[in-house]
Amino acid sequence: MVEIIEGGITTPQGFKAAGVHSGVKYRSLDMGLLYSEVPATAFMAFTSNNVKAAPVQLMMNDKSEKLSAVIINSGNANALTGRRGYEDAQTMQKAVAAELNLEPKTVGVMSTGLIGRFMDMPKIKFGISKACKALGVGRESDNLICEAIMTTDTIKKECAVRVRLEDGTLVNISMISKGSGMISPHLKALHGTTLSMITTDAQLTPAFYPTFQAILDDTMNMVSVDGDQSTNDTCIMMANGLAGGKPADQDPNFIDALRVLVTQIARTIAMDGEGATKLITVEVKGAETKEDAKKVIHTVINSPLVKSAIFGSDPNYGRVMMALGNSGAKFSINDVHLTIKGGDMVVDILDSGAPVFQDETSVEVVRMAMENKEVILQLDLGVGTASATGWGCDLTYDYVRINAEYAT
Amino acid sequence: MVEIIEGGITTPQGFKAAGVHSGVKYRSLDMGLLYSEVPATAFMAFTSNNVKAAPVQLMMNDKSEKLSAVIINSGNANALTGRRGYEDAQTMQKAVAAELNLEPKTVGVMSTGLIGRFMDMPKIKFGISKACKALGVGRESDNLICEAIMTTDTIKKECAVRVRLEDGTLVNISMISKGSGMISPHLKALHGTTLSMITTDAQLTPAFYPTFQAILDDTMNMVSVDGDQSTNDTCIMMANGLAGGKPADQDPNFIDALRVLVTQIARTIAMDGEGATKLITVEVKGAETKEDAKKVIHTVINSPLVKSAIFGSDPNYGRVMMALGNSGAKFSINDVHLTIKGGDMVVDILDSGAPVFQDETSVEVVRMAMENKEVILQLDLGVGTASATGWGCDLTYDYVRINAEYAT
């Protein structure tokens, strides 16, 4: 039903994009602009960190139901910048509005980069003017905006899907995202994760908000690179309706397609976590509640001991159980099943509260499973029927290097 | 009043100790034994991890009010070992009791090391017999037991204090501890942290328990190396009363002395965190509640981004504010003060919600403060009068190395 297609943020009809160099960063592209030819119904979600960046505060105050454009700069997060930062975010919004002949409130603003420095506004204004003139459609524009919003990311996060709605309309949905460190969205209602933009030519009404939130909760909000939630996390979806057809709010095909799309990006963010060499997927079932299942996932996926063991393919699965014990979730130790999957290998670890493997030779099989680019930890808590899935990455020398040297 | 003295676990009158090689580890000492000539009033605190090691389960079931000995092995945690592990812990208790002619329930048991492997009981029994014969008093015995309980520790954690009680009695209190990784005691009532033993020749009654817990809450429970709470954390204090005098339960001098002692050890554990090059002290004041102050400390001290920035002396103080925002504690952003201290340098960072330093040259002063063996982060939340202090360490390449290679 859902078809993953070669495409990017301008694949849905009526969207244009640009990525330019404003000069905030020394050489790399550092400013992106997304534009919809017709005002799009907007769905926004923000960080639940209580220290919110200026653009996040501005968007939350604006509460816009329609957006025509989103301006994004990288290199400076405009966070911890007080009143001056807020005014700078407003200036960005107004500059885009003036160039494109829009109402300021229909322009979304996102920033990412260093915290605690004022924006270099002459450069920012120069970049905005340049970006407005550079708007285009197609794979080159898709690539430029993707590149412009990256910070420590090593790969572009982009995915596009096509799906036929129940009324026969063929719609496109596309998503781009940036995020590699300071990634651990929290489980509060209506908040976002990293910088993400979703475009679709489907028609949606504000009634779609709860579904949008539910999909984020099961996807983006289940990703953690380092347990640190950003001050800037923002996810904006723009639905411009240019594909025609009825509102897709309740369309199961549309909902499926959006879920597939966001799951794909969520996995990519975890895989490209700062310094990561492996994707860790944690699947919990047999939990009493879904909340319990998610608690276990967050504790396991944020444990530095679990993460560094997986980096070293060190079969120290006791640490997964240590994390389970710290999660606060209910489980029955004698009924807990832990399975480690990697490549074609599926290895059952526990039997009646103790590991199956006791000697060095038999433990080797666990190491072999761990020597894969994706390591899947499956935990059955043995007390119920609720389940959840989450994604993280290993803790490596490079994570430390990147973050010991970031501001310098 | 409180005098820190050169001394160890056998400095208080009537205590003997031994450290021997049982063979569980290849070459290092791996078994420690502590003994009191007269039964001592015991105070015990355990991990609040829901996966509890066998010796912890045993101690919690025994609920002994008096202890005469404590046996500790390193190299195997006897955790995640099911029924067989529990029986092995009982066997250890009985073996010591038989050798020293004691009731089994008056023997404490602690284990530390790899999780999820059954104990090699012939070696353990051999070690117990050897340790019982090797009991001695003085600095050599002090050193041997310290060494025998170490795992990834690089320095011995030992401290002794002497204090005169209000009734004129001179008493000694001494503490040893091991712990370098999987360290993050949680804030639940009656639980312990790492493996710690405290001896005193003062007299105490079980009425001292709440004070014991309160001191642990402000000291050991405010240490975090990696946010991962162990399955084995145990702290046992033995008070044998041989110094004479009245019960010291309410004696302010005794309470002060115990607090000084445990604080000293708590700092040492943080400083010797796996791979650590720096001690991070977080002091929070101006919080609405003490619980809020502690929340902030735990979030800051466990943030991989804060920890790696301090490793690299990277003046990325925005990350401290990011962690504050994630803590859930109440604060007033425009009244928050952040001060970074290192060596003789005291640097104020924030003014009305934005950093004072904005250019590369002025930021250098922050870097200089961070280039010290102890970096102190002071946060005034600006909303109340509650305060707390906690300790952690930086996140380094060596932490990753140690934990990627542990089981191998």
In tens, the pLDDT along A75-86 reads 999 998 999 999
Cβ of B51 within 8 Å of Cβ of A401? The answer is: no
Residues of B in contact with A317 (CB under 8 A): 116
Residues of A in contact with B295 (CB under 8 A): none
Q: A186 or A219: which carries more pLDDT confidence?
A: A219
A325 shares a domain with A208 = no
Q: Which of B242, B271, B300 is the last residue of a domain?
A: B271
Cβ of B304 within 8 Å of Cβ of A403? The answer is: yes
The answer on pLDDT for A189 being more than 70 is no
Catalytic residue among B193, B194, B200, B234: B193
Cβ of B51 within 8 Å of Cβ of A321? The answer is: yes
Beta strand B3-5 with A337-342 is unpaired
Residue B191: per-residue pLDDT: 37
Interface test with B, best of A403, A405, A408 (most B CBs within 10 A): A403
Phi, psi values for residue A347, rounded to 5°: -120, 120
Interface test with A, best of B76, B80, B194, B288 (most A CBs within 10 A): B80
- Residue A228: band (very low, low, confident or very high) from pLDDT cuts 50, 70, 90: confident
- Residue A191: band (very low, low, confident or very high) from pLDDT cuts 50, 70, 90: very low
> Does the structure's ipTM exceed the value 0.85?
no
- For residue A78, the chain B residue with the least C-alpha distance is B354
Residue A406: per-residue pLDDT: 62
Cβ of A316 within 8 Å of Cβ of B407? The answer is: yes
Question: Residue type at A153?
Answer: D
Residues of A in contact with B322 (CB under 8 A): 49, 51, 79, 115, 182, 228-231
Q: Name the residue facing B228 among A82, A182, A304 (closest C-beta).
A: A304
CA B159 – CA B197 distance, rounded (Å): 11
- Residue A226: band (very low, low, confident or very high) from pLDDT cuts 50, 70, 90: confident
Question: Residue type at A77?
Answer: A
Cβ of A304 within 8 Å of Cβ of B227? The answer is: yes
- For residue A321, the chain B residue with the least C-alpha distance is B51
Using one digit for the tens of pLDDT, what is the confidence trace for B258-278? Answer: 999 999 999 998 998 888 999
Q: B185 or A362: which carries more pLDDT confidence?
A: A362
Q: Which of B212, B238, B271 is the last residue of a domain?
A: B271
Residues forming beta bridges with residue A283, ordered by sequence position: A378, A389
B342 shares a domain with B215 = no
Residues forming beta bridges with residue A404, ordered by sequence position: none
Residue B361: per-residue pLDDT: 76
Distance (Å) from the alpha carbon of A244 to chain B's nearest alpha carbon = 42
What's the helix, strand, coil split of chain A in %, to 5?
35, 30, 40
B289 shares a domain with B242 = no
How many residue pairs from chains A and B have C-beta atoms closer than 8 A? 226
Residue of B323, B317, B348, B362 whose CA lies nearest to A114: B317
B303 shares a domain with B258 = no
The answer on pLDDT for B129 being more than 90 is yes
Contact B219, B194 (CB under 8 A): no
A265 shares a domain with A286 = no
Looking up residue A339, the CATH number of its domain turns out to be 3.10.20.340
Contact A273, A183 (CB under 8 A): yes
A253 shares a domain with A141 = yes
Residues of B in contact with A333 (CB under 8 A): 51
Mean pLDDT, residues A181-208: 72
Cβ of B49 within 8 Å of Cβ of A322? The answer is: yes
A119 shares a domain with A94 = yes
Cβ of A311 within 8 Å of Cβ of B404? The answer is: yes
Residues of A in contact with B355 (CB under 8 A): 80, 116-117
| Overall number of domains in chain A | 2
Q: B193 or B260: which carries more pLDDT confidence?
A: B260
Mean pLDDT, residues B202-227: 91
B330 shares a domain with B235 = no
Phi, psi values for residue A89, rounded to 5°: -65, -40
Q: What mean pLDDT, rounded, does chain B reach?
A: 90
CA A102 – CA A107 distance, rounded (Å): 8
Q: Name the residue facing A116 among B302, B323, B355 (closest C-beta).
A: B355
Longest dimension (CA), chain A: 71
B291 shares a domain with B218 = no
Looking up residue B189, the CATH number of its domain turns out to be 3.60.70.12
Q: Which domain holds residue A358?
A: 279-404
B356 shares a domain with B303 = yes
Give me the DSSP letters along B14-80: TEEEEEE--SSSSSS--EEEEEEEEEEEEEEEE---SS--HHHHHHHHH--SEEEEEEEEEEE---S
A202 shares a domain with A293 = no
Q: Name the residue facing B226 among A80, A182, A305 (closest C-beta).
A: A305
Q: Which of A271, A299, A332 is the last residue of a domain?
A: A271
CA B175 – CA B157 distance, rounded (Å): 8
CA A305 – CA B136 distance, rounded (Å): 37
Mean pLDDT, residues A158-185: 86
Structure tokens at B210: 């709440």
- Residue A353: band (very low, low, confident or very high) from pLDDT cuts 50, 70, 90: confident
The answer on pLDDT for B320 being more than 70 is yes
Residue B190: per-residue pLDDT: 37
Residues of B in contact with A353 (CB under 8 A): 80-83
Distance (Å) from the alpha carbon of B349 to chain A's nearest alpha carbon = 10
A316 shares a domain with A261 = no
Using one digit for the tens of pLDDT, what is the confidence trace for B376-402? Answer: 999 999 999 999 999 999 999 998 998
Q: Which residues of A are catalytic?
A: 193
